[in-house]
Amino acid sequence: MKLLLTASGLRNETQRIALRSMLGRPFTSARLVYIPTASVAEPGDHGWVVEDLSRLYGLGWRELDILELNGLPRGMVLDRLSRADVIYVQGGNHYHLARSISGNGLADAFLDMLRDRVYVGVSAGSMIFSRHLTEHSADVIGDTADLHALDATTVQSPFGLFDWYLKPHLYSPNFPERNDAWADRIVERADFPIYFIDDETAVRVRDGEVDVVTEGRWRFHP
């Protein structure tokens, strides 16, 4: 299983080189499916989605498909996923994304497909693999508003692969409150390991081995 878990997509050459290495061939010979599901639950201007999609398209994929997980027959969703070499999952509301995967009965088949495909997560798309994606972590991290926005009080990870949690956008100008003091407050309350990553960093998972790919800054608290 190969996962590249970013905060803001493929923003730098180090991340792009990491993806090419994980894929094992040029982008021009690979199919990518882009999943915007988390972003549609996020209010306000979506220029950040357009910018990321434009940057992604500019890499020159053989095919770039766009697939919404809600509202389509399960068989159609799985067929479109199966055609892809890279599954790219956009950011937004990570609780909506997790509930969409589980609620549409996609979790097991989705996980099976990741065994021979490369997964790239962006923000919310990077957060759904922790077994600590629960209402408890929402309280610890300070994300309960995102959960309540869905008229929900509970959530669970569709996959539950990792003991650690990932929190993106450390030091980001778009999230000015996410500084060291903010991270320190979370760590004081957390009873689980956390990666904090900035917008130039990714956590890379290859066959169970975890490391960090970065041109920026990050923190890990075990």
Which domains, from first to last, does the chain contain? 2-221 (3.40.50.880)
Give the model's pLDDT for residue 157.
93
Give me 206's structure tokens: 């290859």
- Supply angle C-alpha 79, 7, 218, rounded to 5: 140
Give the model's pLDDT for residue 48.
96
**Residue 174: phi, psi to the nearest 5?**
-80, -15
Give me 11's structure tokens: 């923003």
Give me 222's structure tokens: 């075990």
Give the model's pLDDT for residue 109.
96
DSSP structure class, residue 130: B
Give the model's pLDDT for residue 221.
97
Q: pTM, whole model, 2 decimals? A: 0.97
Give the model's pLDDT for residue 160.
93
Q: What is the DSSP string of 139-174?
A: HHHT-HHHHHTTT-S----SS--BSSEEE--TT-TT
Beta carbons within 8 Å of 222's beta carbon, 6+ residues apart = 193
Task: Tell me which residues of the chain have a pLDDT lower than 50.
Answer: none
Give kind and range of the element (H or E) at residue 66. strand 63-66
Produce one character per residue of 148-186: b if its CB has 16 or more CB atoms within 10 Å, e if not. eeeeeeebebbbbbbebbbbbbbbbeeeeebeeebbeeb
d(CA 50, CA 48): 5
- The 10s digit of each residue's pLDDT in 66-112 is 999 999 999 999 999 999 999 999 999 999 999 999 999 999 999 99
Give the model's pLDDT for residue 61.
98
Pairing of strands 86-89, 165-167: unpaired
* Single-letter code of the amino acid located at 154: T
Among residues 105, 7, 82, 116, the alpha carbon closest in space to that of 52 is found at 7
Give the model's pLDDT for residue 171.
97
